Amino acid sequence: MSLVTLSEVLQPAFKGGYALCGVVTLGWEDMCAFVQAAEQENMPIILQAGPGCRSHTPLPILAKMFLHLAQNAQVPVVAHLDHGTSYEECCAAVDLGFSSVMFDGSLLPLRDNIRETAKVVAMAHQAGISCEGEIGVVGYAKGASSQGTNPKEAALFATETNVDAMAISCGNLHLQEGPSAGFDIERLAAIEAVTDVPLVLHGGSGLGGDLRRKLALGSHICKFNIGTELRQTFGAALRDTLAQYPQSFDRIEILSATKGPMAEKARAIIAGLKA
C-alpha cells in the first residue's frame, strides 16, 4: 500500500468509532508478523520504534525497515517514533522518513510540556507528518508511579499544541503483564468532554481485550499501544521452539518460528478493535 501519517489513519477511526493498534517493535521478525496480521484483518498498522528498540538498533536502520515494509504492505502503514525525548531526536526521525513522531514531555511542568510539544508539532506539520503528545504521566508496573491526566490541563494542552493525537493517563500502565481493574472511566469521560482530539492509551496490554474493545467502540481512544502481550507471545514461542528442537542453532530458523504465533496474537488484538 503506502506509508501514511498517524492523522490519516486516526481521523477515520475517530469518526468511525473504532481504534488501531500501535505495536511496539523490537526486531525484523515481529515487524513482519505485525504487518501480516494487519493485512489479514485489512486494517492499518502503526509500527512503533520505542526507546528500547532504538537503543538496540540504530534509528536509520529502523527507518529503512519500516519504510521497506510500508512500501510492500497491502494496508496503510505508519512509521512512528515512540517516546521521543527531544526536539532533535524527533527532527532526526522526520529526516529519516518517519511519518509520525511522539514527543513525550509528560515529566515536564505543564507550560514547558506545552511549549516543547508545540515546537515539535510545528516542525512535524511543516514536514507533512503527524505528532502525538502526552499529558499526565503513564507509569510502569513495578516501577515509576503514574500521574493521572487532569482534564482541564488536557484541554489546554490539546488546544495550545495542536497535536494530532494525545496520550493520556487514566490508570493504564506500561509493562503491565496482566489485566488490571484500575482503569479510571470517569477521568476518561471528563477528558473527552473538554477535548476533540483522538486519544491514545500507552500500556494497552494491561487493559485486557474486553476493556480495550469497549473503549475502542465507545470512547475517543483511537490508538492502543501494545507491547507486553506481544513480547510474552514471542518469549513463549521462542522457548517452545528451543525445547522442541534442542539441537537447532541457526538464528534465522529459530527466530522465524516466532512469526506465526506473533502474527496470530497481533491479529486477535487488531480484530478486537474493529467496528
Summarize the confidence of residues 7-19 as an average pLDDT.
98
Summarize the confidence of residues 252-273 as an average pLDDT.
96
pLDDT band at 172 (very low <50, low <70, confident <90, very high): confident
Read off the pLDDT of residues 67-90 as tens digits, 9 standing for 90 and up: 999 999 999 999 999 999 999 999
Cα–Cα distance measured from residue 77 to residue 245, given in angstroms and rounded to the nearest whole number? 35
Query: Which residue, 7, 4, 2, is CA-closest to 121?
Result: 7
Cα–Cα distance measured from residue 32 to residue 29, given in angstroms and rounded to the nearest whole number? 5
Check pLDDT > 70 for residue 179: no
Label residues 243-265 b or e (16+ Cβ within 10 Å = b): eeeeeeeeeeebbebbbebbbeb
Summarize the confidence of residues 31-39 as an average pLDDT.
98
Contact assessment for residue 23 and residue 226, using Cβ atoms and an 8 Å cutoff? yes
Domains parsed from the chain with CATH numbers: 6-271 (3.20.20.70)
Read off the pLDDT of residues 53-63 as tens digits, 9 standing for 90 and up: 999 999 999 99
- Write out the catalytic residue numbers: 82
Check pLDDT > 80 for residue 120: yes
| Identity of the highest mean pLDDT range in 41-45, 137-141, 251-255 | 41-45
Check pLDDT > 70 for residue 217: yes
pLDDT band at 205 (very low <50, low <70, confident <90, very high): confident
Check pLDDT > 90 for residue 146: no
Check pLDDT > 80 for residue 34: yes
The per-residue pLDDT of the chain, averaged, comes to 93
Check pLDDT > 70 for residue 124: yes
Q: What is the pLDDT of residue 133?
A: 98
pLDDT band at 184 (very low <50, low <70, confident <90, very high): confident
The more confidently predicted of residues 176 and 102 is 102
| Angle made by CA atoms 101, 160, 193, in degrees to the nearest 5 | 95
Contact assessment for residue 225 and residue 20, using Cβ atoms and an 8 Å cutoff? no
Check pLDDT > 70 for residue 181: no
Q: What is the pLDDT of residue 209?
A: 85
Query: Which residue, 216, 121, 123, 104, is CA-closest to 160?
Result: 121
Check pLDDT > 90 for residue 130: yes
